[in-house]
Amino acid sequence: MYNLHDIVEMKKPHPCGANRWEIIRMGMDIKIQCTSCQRIIMLPRREFEKKLKKVLETANKD
Ligand SMILES: [Zn+2]
């Protein structure tokens, strides 16, 4: 599972070349921010889960 502020890798890297995204909003839509160029994209939750490859860092380890 994934949580707010986790760092995730997507199936497709960002055009800037990086593939590390921070989850900055969770809701009906998920907002992720590229940790390299700071660009923010918003995806419907279902689409986010389809494009998610893996969680790289968990913000809250509880
Ligand atoms: Zn980027």
pLDDT digits (tens, 9 = 90+) for 40-59: 999 999 999 999 999 999 99
- What is the pTM (predicted TM-score) of this model? 0.92
The CA 41 to ligand 1 mean position distance, Å, reads 10
Domain with 40 in it: 7-57
The CA 13 to ligand 1 mean position distance, Å, reads 8
For β-strands 7-10 and 40-44, DSSP reports them as unpaired
In the sheet with 40-44, reading across from the earlier edge strand, the strands are: 40-44, 29-34, 21-25, 7-10, 52-57
Residue 1 lies in a domain: no
Residue 22 lies in a domain: yes
Structure confidence at residue 60 (pLDDT): 73
Residue 42 lies in a domain: yes
Structure confidence at residue 6 (pLDDT): 97
Residue 62 lies in a domain: no
Q: Domain tally for the chain?
A: 1
Residue 2 lies in a domain: no
Residue 15 lies in a domain: yes
